[in-house]
Structure 1
Amino acid sequence: MANRLIPLVILLIVVIVLVVIGFIAYSIIQEVSDKTKSKMEKRNVMFTKDGMKVGVRQVGEEDILVNMWNHTSFPAYKSRLWDMTGSASGSASGEGRAEQRKG
């Protein structure tokens, strides 16, 4: 009778060890996931069921507009007020293109 119970006890021990290892792995994965999610949310990156949302913080519309204006060029436009090509020959003050647009 004891010969029949030994394989059953060994099987139960192996199953219990595998369950404990699986639970430990699952808890570690959940902990890392929660920490990563909280760190990413601090940087305005949120994970949802639909995907990932990235927020832009502390950037005003005026800053974006000025940045875009300073990095644009109008190849076919000739202004009577300033030279948009960036050459210093048409400019009275000799300043660069971005400096002239600021006012």
Structure 2
Amino acid sequence: MAQGSLVPLFILLAVVTVLGGVGYITWSIVQEVTRNTRTKMEKKNVVWSRDGMKVGVKELKDEDYKDRSQSVLVNMWNHTSFPAYKSRLWNMTGSANQGSEADKNKW
């Protein structure tokens, strides 16, 4: 009679062990995803707190700021054209004999 009452106990222990294993695997996966998400969000200066999501301003060093602004100005300068511009120092059109007599007498 005692052996018959032990079978349900072993089945209960097996079910609890399987459910515990599945629960532990699920918990470890959730913790890993949370950790990876937190590190990716911190790289983008977004932090989750009890108050909600906080977005920080990315720190930019003064030298990096100057480099970026200078590169923008240089790119703008390089991609512009001045159709009505005539240089007084040299001929930008390529032909040496162009120009009126009044332009030659200015110098």
> With structure 2 as the length reference, what TM-score do the two structures score?
0.52
Counterpart for residue 72 of structure 1: none
Using the TM superposition, give the Cα deviation of residue 40 of structure 1 relative to its aligned residue in structure 2, in angstroms. Answer: 0.3
**Number of residue-to-residue matches in the alignment:** 60
Q: Which consecutive unaligned segments of at least 5 residues does structure 1 have?
A: 61-103
Task: Provide the secondary structure at the position in 1 that maps to 2:10.
Answer: helix
CA RMSD across the alignment = 1.8
Counterpart for residue 10 of structure 1: 11
Using the TM superposition, give the Cα deviation of residue 34 of structure 1 relative to its aligned residue in structure 2, in angstroms. Answer: 0.6
- The structure whose RCO (Cα within 8 Å, separation 6+) is larger is 1
Counterpart for residue 93 of structure 2: none
Using the TM superposition, give the Cα deviation of residue 49 of structure 1 relative to its aligned residue in structure 2, in angstroms. Answer: 1.1
Sequence identity of aligned pairs in percent?
53
- Poorly superposed stretches of 4+, deviation over 3 Å: none
Tell me which structure has the larger Cα radius of gyration. Answer: 2
> With structure 1 as the length reference, what TM-score do the two structures score?
0.54
* Partner AA of 2:23 in structure 1: G
Task: Provide the secondary structure at the position in 2 that maps to 1:26.
Answer: helix
Counterpart for residue 41 of structure 2: 40
Using the TM superposition, give the Cα deviation of residue 56 of structure 1 relative to its aligned residue in structure 2, in angstroms. Answer: 2.0
Q: How does 1:1-103 map to 2 (within 5 A)?
A: 1-57=2-58, 58=60
